[in-house]
Structure 1
Amino acid sequence: MNSKNPFLNNKIFSSTALSKKEEVHTATIIDYNTEMTLSGTINKSFILFLLLSASAMVIWWLTFNGMNPLVPAISGAIIGFVLVLISVFKPQYSGYLAPAYALFEGLFIGGISAIFEIKYPGIVIEAVAATLVTFVVCLLLYKYKIVQVTEQFKSVVVAATLAIATYYLISWLFSMFTSFVPVHHGSSLMSIGISVFVIVIAALNLFLDFDEIENGVHRKLPKYMEWFGAMGLMITLVWLYIEFLRLLSKLYSRD
């Protein structure tokens, strides 16, 4: 079961796992306090959520007291992206990188949220509620095995995710150097349809995150992988939240 999830990649999750022979040989000396656990990952996910929320609230408050939110938003996005790249290649430092990512990503979320809220009052609380409801629904569907994360499921979701990323990148490059206006801009029905599709794919990525975390626990990976798994989950939630903001802004602009 090799997942190609852009962040929670099975190659990373399995690289530190013990082989079957090694597990049997060291069964009597395993220290379970140094292994990845589900409860530990949940706790660390909650910590990252609190850090991100606190950072976002600070920028939110500063924005509504006269500060331009663009600078911290852009800075937070860039630094957060760099921290993600480092953690992919150095997951053993996730205990430091994940909290730092949450703080800097909070700057981005707080700034972007404030910009949308100023233009569309009430949109942020709706986007937050939609994100949380989607997360809970996906978690329940996964927990009760209503949605099975098969190899085919992973392939479809990853292919769709990479297609979206490629489309966004190409659209951004064209809009930077030409007068090209991407199809997903504006509030047309096609643009709204694209946003709905992207939200569905982002939500499906949650199932990949849940599956990789569960597999990591079963493989008895090192304790620092709890931070790595929590960070991957937070990345997906941030993406989902941003897409909900974009969709709601398009719906607001049509009123």
Structure 2
Amino acid sequence: MFNSSNPVFGRNIFENTARDFTSSNTMTVKGTMGKALLMLALVVLGASYTWKMFFGLETTNAAMGWMIGGAIGGLVTGLIISFVPKTASWLSPIYSILQGLFLGAISAVFEAQFHGIVINAVGLTLAVAFLLFFIYRTGIIKVTDKLRVGIIAATGAIALFYLITWIVSLFGGNTSFMMDSSALSIGISVVIVIVAALNLLLDFDFIQKGEQAGAPKYMEWYGAFGLMVTLIWLYLEILKLLAKLSRRD
């Protein structure tokens, strides 16, 4: 019932926290969304630091160092939260800032090449997120077992695709199609953006099911963390897609 293609939301996550369900202080959708907004604000805070650093220095080495540190730190904290959900309440803010440092620098790299691309990517990401939330809450699209399985399968296929292309590149294979402006490359990006967006439906459903199951309060942070993972993925994919389209102009 609670399965999601988001690796943060594992199949047994509510079962593993069942002993905490007796608490009267339980998870709510409102509380989770509030924490997600706080995490988003921290991402923006971290991003603004490396963004200003990138455009304010004669050399970008310092910003690149923060970008790498943020990426590695975000990966480590994200893995810890995924395996130990109770740490989400204090590690999620740290994760947000670290990811912000990474996103600010990588966004600045794209902005330097394509002026105005970042604000468009941010706007589209937020628009897609609000649209999917509206669609889910109004029941326009219901998260059925078939839909869930389809999204999970598509997400797994994308992960496998990225892994294969990475391995091919390590052995000197040509993977330029991943970032060029060909019709194939743009088509791949469009499909990935759609799948990433659909993952938001599963994330919203997971959070609502957590409220219905009476999950412990700290799971609000865990739910917000999982939602942020999807939003960051969606933003990066939209950013890449817009870059490919800009190269065709």
> What range is the shorter-chain TM-score in?
over 0.9
From 179, 193, 200, the counterpart of 1:199: 193
* Alpha-carbon separation, structure 2, partners of 1:127 and 1:4: 25
* Alpha-carbon separation, structure 1, partners of 2:33 and 2:124: 21
* Alpha-carbon separation, structure 2, partners of 1:171 and 1:108: 22
From 127, 148, 151, the counterpart of 1:157: 151
* Alpha-carbon separation, structure 2, partners of 1:118 and 1:101: 26
Task: Tell whether 2:20 aligns with 1:7.
Answer: no
Aligned residue pairs, count: 245
- Which digits, 9 at most, give the CA deviation of each residue in 1:132-165, with x for residues without a partner? 1100110000000011101111111111111111
Give the AA of the match of 1:42: M
From 87, 91, 94, the counterpart of 1:93: 87
Identity of aligned residues (%): 43
Give the corresponding residue for 2:114.
Answer: 120
* Alpha-carbon separation, structure 1, partners of 2:144 and 2:213: 18
Which deviates more from structure 2 when the two are superposed, residues 213-222 or residues 76-85?
A: 76-85
From 161, 182, 192, the counterpart of 1:188: 182
Give the AA of the match of 1:3: N
CA contact (8 A) 2:89 2:221 kept: yes
Q: Which runs of 5+ in 2 are unaligned?
A: none
Q: Which runs of 5+ in 1 are unaligned?
A: 24-29
* Alpha-carbon separation, structure 2, partners of 1:71 and 1:174: 27
CA shift at 1:183, angstroms?
A: 3.2
TM-score, reference length from structure 1: 0.92
Give the corresponding residue for 2:169.
Answer: 175
- Which digits, 9 at most, give the CA deviation of each residue in 1:205-255, with x for residues without a partner? 000100000001111111110000000000100000000110000011111
Give the corresponding residue for 2:29.
Answer: 38
Task: Tell whether 2:143 aligns with 1:142.
Answer: no
From 47, 55, 58, the counterpart of 1:64: 55
Task: Tell whether 2:74 aligns with 1:107.
Answer: no
* Alpha-carbon separation, structure 1, partners of 2:177 and 2:2: 34
Give the AA of the match of 1:7: V
CA contact (8 A) 2:179 2:240 kept: no
Which runs of 4 or more aligned residues in structure 1 lie more than 4 Å from their structure 2 counterparts after TM superposition?
A: none
Which deviates more from structure 2 when the two are superposed, residues 179-188 or residues 121-130?
A: 179-188
- Which digits, 9 at most, give the CA deviation of each residue in 1:150-183, with x for residues without a partner? 1111111111111111111111121122132253
